[in-house]
Amino acid sequence: MSATSGAAVQMDRVIALARAHLLSRQHPEGYWAECFDTGVMADAQTLVSLALVGERDPSWTDPLIYRLQALQRDNGAWGVHPEDQGDLSTTVECAYALHLYQAWPTPGAEQAARAFIASQGGLRRCRNLTKVFLAIGGEVPWSALPSPRVYAWLFAPRSPVRITDLVCFTRLHVAPMLLLAARRYVAPGRRARVFATAVSAEATPSPDGRRGQTRGRRRTGRWFTRCLRWLLRQREPDGTLAGYHSSSWLLLFVYLALGRSRAHPGVRRVLASMRRNLLIDPLTGCGHQQTCNAHVWNTALAVRALTAAGVPLDDPHLAKAVAFLDAHQQRRRTQRSGIDRSGGWAFSDNNTTHPDTDDTVACLEALSPYRRMYPRAWTEGVAWLLRMQNRDGGWSAFEKDCSRRWLEWIPANDMRRTMTDPSTPDITGRVTAFLLRDGGYPAAHPQVQRAIRWLLRHQERDGSWFGRWGSTYIYGTWCAVQALAASPDVAHAPALERAANWLLSIQHGDGSFGESCTSDLSGHYVDLLSGTPTHTAWALDALTHLYQAALVPLDRHRLWGAMVQAASWLQAHVEPDGTWSETVPTGSAFPGDLHIRYHLYPKVWPLLALCRFDKISCARAKR
C-alpha cells in the first residue's frame, strides 16, 4: 500500500468514526441536545434565584453546586474563560450562591473568594446584572443601580429612541430590571448578609419582602405600565423570555414584585421551563444550567456535517432532523421594528418570536438538499434573509439597522456594544456565501454586490476579518473568505491573498490553529499558543476555499502544504470514539463577560473540514 493510499484509508476511518458518533448523539425527537456551555455565571444565577424564591430541589441545585465547587480557582476566583485571572462579577455570584446553600467545600475557599472580591474593588465594581440579583437578595440597596428614570424614556410615546431600538437580548433584560428597580423589590425572609456592605433601610428585607416598595410605587408612572405590558407581550408559550435563563429569572421576580405567589401559574411555568435546561455530566455529577438550549443550531450543523460525510439523504436520522427544522421555522406574521419576522429560525426550539440571521443561514444550508421537499420553508427562509440586509450592505445577527452606537455610551450603561446589533463580517460572510453557493444568486445580484463591497471595506490591515459570534479573527476570516471565494471577480484577489498570507502566518508548527478569547477585547488576533480542533477546522476550511479560488496568485503549493498539516493534526488528535477534545470556548456572546463552549463544535467542524479536504485530495490524486 502506498503512503497516499494509506493516508486515504486513515482519512476514511476518521470520517466514518466521527459520522457514527454524531449519529449516535441524536435525540429520539430528531434534534441534537449538545451542551451550550456559557460557564458558571448561569449556574450561580440559577442557584441564587432558586434560593431567593424559596424553591428547594436538590436534584436541580446539587449538580450546580458541585460544578461551582469544582471550578473555583486557586486564587479564589471564578472566570469566564480559562485564560483570564478571574472575573469579579462571576466570582461574586458564585460566592453568593455557595454561601446561600452553605456549600463552601472548605473555609479556605470562602476566604480566598472574599479576598479576590476585595482586591477587585468589591461589589460596587460589579456588573449591573450582578447587582440586580444582589439587590433582590438585600445585599446592596437598589440605589446602587442606575435609577429606572434613566431608561424610562425608552417607553415614552414620543421618545426618539424606543425599547425596540435595543438589540433583542438586551431589551429583554433591561425591561424587567427597570420594573424591579422601580418597585425596589427585595425577596421575602430575613437572612444574614453575605457581604460586608452598607445596606440602606429601604432595601432591608422585611418579613413579607415589601419594605421600601411603597415609595417606589409613588415614583412610577405611566412608563411602568407601558413597560410591564410590553414585557408580558414578549413571553414565550413556555413562560420564558426567548428561552434566556437570566431574563426569565428576572421575569419571575417581576411576578413576585407584583404580589403573585410562588404557586402562581406564571411562576411555576418559568421554573418548569428553566428546569429543562439543566444538563448533568453523568461522569462527574456536575450540572450546567444552559443560558438557553441550542437545539435548532445544533441540529442544523449536524445535518450539514452528516450530509457532507456521505450519509444518504433518505437516511431516517436525517429525515427526522430535517422535519424538526421545518417544524421550528417561525411562520407567524409578526412585525417588529417595521420588519416582517416570518420565515426565519431561532437558536432555541422554545424561542418562537426572535429569529436570527445565523440560525436561518444554518437551517437553510441544512435544508438545501431537501428544498424540493420543503419548498415553503426554503422560499420563506431565503426571503427573510434578503429582507434583513442592512442599509450599509451587511447583515447583523438579530436586527435590521440596529446600529445607533451612541446608545453604548448612555450614562450608567455597562453593556456597551451589546446595546446594538451592527453589521459584522462573520454574519455578512455567511449570508453572502450561502446566497452564492446554495441560494442560486449570481455574483452580479445587487444585494450580493453590496455585501461584497461591505466585506472588502471591513478587512483588517493584516488581512483578517473580525468575527462577532465566534472567537474571533480566525472565525471572521473563515466566514468572509467563503463569500469572496464564491464570487469570481479579479477585484477580490488582493483581499484573498492578504487573507491567505495571514492564515499561513498564524499556523502553528504542528499544523494547528488556536486563538485566545482575549482577541475579542484586544481588537487584534491573540494566539492561543496551542491548537484547538474548532479553530483548526475553520482555518483548514478557509484554506480549502482559498486553494480552489483561481483568483489567488499565491503559490498553491504553500496553501496545499498548510492544508495537509492542518488535516494531519486533526487526524492525529481524534479520540477513539470519533470526537475531538476541546476545553477552550470558541464562541462569543458578551466579550469579556460571557464566552461560549459549544460541545457540538469539535464534533461537526473538524468533520466538515476533513470531508472538504478529502474531496480535494481525491481530485488531486486522480490528476
322-350 confidence digits (pLDDT tens): 999 999 999 876 555 455 668 999 999 99
Burial degree of 374 (CB within 10 A; 0-12, 13-18, 19+): middle
CA angle 256, 257, 262 (to 5 degrees): 10
**What pLDDT, on the 0 to 100 scale, is given for residue 202?**
38
- Nearest to 84, CA basis, from 582, 474, 520, 599: 520
- Average model confidence (pLDDT) for the chain? 90
* Runs of H (alpha helix) within 25-87: 40-53, 58-71
Residue 403 pLDDT level (bands cut at 50, 70, 90): confident
Note the pLDDT tens digit of each residue in 42-96. 999 999 999 999 999 999 999 999 999 999 999 999 999 988 999 999 999 999 9
Domain range 140-279, its CATH number among 2.40.50.140, 1.50.10.20, 1.10.645.10, 1.10.287.130: 1.50.10.20
**What pLDDT, on the 0 to 100 scale, is given for residue 116?**
97
- Cα–Cα dist 437/362, whole Å: 13
3-35+292-409+424-622 and 140-279: same fold?
yes
Q: How far is CA 510 from the centre of its chain?
A: 30
Note the pLDDT tens digit of each residue in 474-520. 999 999 999 999 987 877 889 999 999 999 999 999 999 999 999 98
**What pLDDT, on the 0 to 100 scale, is given for residue 1?**
43
- Cα–Cα dist 123/144, whole Å: 9
3-state secondary structure at position 589:
strand
pTM: 0.93
CA dist list (Å): 117 to 71, 75, 86, 89: 16, 10, 10, 9
- Cα–Cα dist 469/345, whole Å: 17
Three cell numbers written together for 235: 413571553
Residue 550 has pLDDT above 90, yes or no: no
Domain range 3-35+292-409+424-622, its CATH number among 1.20.950.20, 1.50.10.20, 3.40.50.10070, 1.10.3720.10: 1.50.10.20
Length of the chain: 623
* Runs of H (alpha helix) within 276-315: 295-308
Q: pLDDT > 90: what percent of the chain?
A: 77
Residue 238 pLDDT level (bands cut at 50, 70, 90): very high
Residue 404 pLDDT level (bands cut at 50, 70, 90): confident
Residue 411 pLDDT level (bands cut at 50, 70, 90): low
**What pLDDT, on the 0 to 100 scale, is given for residue 487?**
87
**What pLDDT, on the 0 to 100 scale, is given for residue 5?**
61
- Cα–Cα dist 66/69, whole Å: 5
Residue 259 pLDDT level (bands cut at 50, 70, 90): very high
Three cell numbers written together for 310: 456521505
Count CB neighbours of 223 within 10 A.
20
- Cα–Cα dist 397/414, whole Å: 21
Is there a contact between 428 and 484 (Cβ–Cβ < 8 Å)? no
Is there a contact between 586 and 601 (Cβ–Cβ < 8 Å)? yes
**What pLDDT, on the 0 to 100 scale, is given for residue 413?**
56
**What pLDDT, on the 0 to 100 scale, is given for residue 79?**
94
- Cα–Cα dist 5/484, whole Å: 33
Q: How far apart are the first and last CA of the chain?
A: 19
Residue 551 pLDDT level (bands cut at 50, 70, 90): low
- Cα–Cα dist 320/295, whole Å: 13
Dihedral (Cα; 342, 348, 352, 355), 10-degree rounding? -30
Contacts of 24-27 with CB under 8 Å at 24 or more apart are: 25/302, 25/603, 26/302, 26/317, 26/320, 26/321
Residue 464 has pLDDT above 50, yes or no: yes
Residue 213 pLDDT level (bands cut at 50, 70, 90): very low
Give every CB contact of residue 71 below 8 A, 6+ residues apart in sequence: 40, 78
Residue 190 pLDDT level (bands cut at 50, 70, 90): low
- Cα–Cα dist 400/397, whole Å: 9
State phi, psi for 402 to the nearest 5 degrees: -100, 75
**What pLDDT, on the 0 to 100 scale, is given for residue 553?**
63
**What pLDDT, on the 0 to 100 scale, is given for residue 49?**
97
- Cα–Cα dist 321/327, whole Å: 10
Query: How many Å is the Cα radius of gyration of the chain?
Result: 25
CA dist list (Å): 477 to 351, 542, 553: 29, 8, 18
Residue 17 pLDDT level (bands cut at 50, 70, 90): very high
Domain boundaries of the chain, sorted by first residue: 3-35+292-409+424-622, 41-126, 140-279
- Nearest to 482, CA basis, from 549, 551, 558: 549
**What pLDDT, on the 0 to 100 scale, is given for residue 205?**
39
Note the pLDDT tens digit of each residue in 569-604. 999 999 999 999 999 999 988 777 889 999 999 999
